[in-house]
Amino acid sequence: MTALLIKRTNPLISRSSGHASRRGFTLTEMLVVIGIIALLIGILLPALSRVQDRARRTQTESLMNEFRSACENFQQQFGFYPGIVPEAILNATANPAISGMENALLHMCGGAIPQDDPDYGAAAYSSWTEVTFGSGTNTFKIKVNASKVGEGPRIQGAKYSSFFSPKTDDLLAAPGQNLASAASVDPYANDPLRIPDLLDSWGQPIMYLRQLRPQAQFLVQGGLQTESLSDAMFAFQGAAPYLNSAALGDLGRDQSNSVLRLAAAANKSATLGQIIRAPAIGVPTGSASQILTTAAPRGAFAVISAGKDGVFYSQYDGIGSPSAPKSDIISGGSNPKGPEAMAEYDDIRVFGGG
């Protein structure tokens, strides 16, 4: 009987011993597997990053084109492109309280009332913040309430629905405007109005530059330049709140690396001219004065995103590099030059009113 029991239990003992003999992965095998996983991650992450960057660029271009269409619709109705403060007066203001983009959004989306509106002195606007642009006898006033942006503008004494209605996340006050130091506790320290900006997919404000007049010499002077071209077409001051920042937008980028700030004083207007000029018009390369007198802009207004790096035409981008920064985009030197070289930058440009 005892022998029978032992015989019956032997198969169980044998199976148990078989399980016990199975081995796990060795350390070498584990390291090989980990190495393969790390290699795959190293290959896939850059590819995923490129896909994300392309998606962000596409989204930004789409938003900029929507803005352009809104500007064109506005112009068709009123005969001029949006900007509640006259561009010549905004340009004559040393440190404008609003950017060119904010100037356009207040005109298309509401949130401000100009001094020439019949209801400017009405009680309904008594609590709004009054802002004066220009100096001396050449001034212009508006009253601002950033919380009313999106409710529709008042134009020529009449109330209209908003001409531009992007997603809420695309229309937010960008931090860092006119911020002299990135170490500032309050990123809105020099932007008390907190007027919404149009943000690209990286969270950086998009620049809007509008012509001063239909027919004129190319560009003009204003706080960031020294040329005296009283009859010019475009101006810098609408870009000043962005370009003067040490920590702009969600990326907190220092704009002191922008060629629009780094260019020699005599070349600043031509530097902007090189960015927004039509490649087919004017000398392919040449001096700053040649660009200003022979070239023509691509449109009546320009809309510019700083792109992935968050800096408007960085000296390290395009025809420049981290090892060989390029702040002079006029003469070019041994690098590619002329307006066609602007396509090498990650910045995104859209033009309207051409």
Q: CA distances (Å), 241 to each of 62, 216, 236, 324, in order?
A: 24, 25, 10, 28
Q: Is the pLDDT of residue 341 over 60?
A: yes
Q: State the amino acid at position 300 in one-letter form.
A: A
Write the pLDDT tens digit of every residue in 42-72: 887 777 777 788 999 999 999 999 999 999 9
Closest C-alpha to 227, from 273, 188, 182, 184: 273
Q: Is the pLDDT of residue 226 over 50?
A: no
Structure tokens at 226: 């020294």
Write the pLDDT tens digit of every residue in 149-198: 999 999 999 999 999 999 999 999 999 999 988 877 799 999 999 999 99
Contacts of residue 34, Cβ cutoff 8 Å, sequence gap at least 6: none
Burial of 315 (0-12, 13-18, 19+ CB in 10 A): buried
pTM to 2 decimals?
Answer: 0.83
Burial of 216 (0-12, 13-18, 19+ CB in 10 A): middle
Contacts of residue 12, Cβ cutoff 8 Å, sequence gap at least 6: none
Q: Is the pLDDT of residue 6 over 60?
A: no
The CA-CA-CA angle for residues 259, 261, 262, to 5°, reads 60
**222, containing H or E segment:** none
Q: What is the pLDDT of residue 243?
A: 96
* Residue entry with tokens 């392919």: 284
Sheet of 348-352, strands arranged across: 207-210, 301-305, 348-352
DSSP 301-354: EEEEE-TTTTSTTBTTSTT--SSS-----SS-TTS--SGGGGGGSS-EEEEE--
Angle between helices 100-109 and 27-78 (to 10 degrees): 60
β-pairing, 301-305 vs 232-234, is: unpaired
Write the pLDDT tens digit of every residue in 269-318: 888 888 998 888 877 777 777 777 777 888 899 999 999 999 999 999 99
Instruction: Give the whole-angstrom CA distance, residue 119 versus residue 142.
Output: 12
How many helices (H) and strands (E) are present in the chain, helices listed first?
8, 12
Contacts of residue 51, Cβ cutoff 8 Å, sequence gap at least 6: none
pLDDT band at 331 (very low <50, low <70, confident <90, very high): confident
Q: What is the pLDDT of residue 230?
A: 40
Q: What is the pLDDT of residue 219?
A: 47
Q: CA distances (Å), 56 to each of 5, 53, 204, in order?
A: 75, 5, 12
Instruction: Give the whole-angstrom CA distance, residue 168 versus residue 198.
Output: 10
Closest C-alpha to 57, from 253, 306, 307, 302: 307
Q: Is the pLDDT of residue 215 over 60?
A: no
Write the pLDDT tens digit of every residue in 234-254: 778 899 999 999 999 999 999
Over the chain, what is the mean pLDDT? 85
Higher pLDDT, 259 or 213: 259
Share of the chain above pLDDT 90, in %: 55
Q: Is the pLDDT of residue 320 over 70?
A: yes
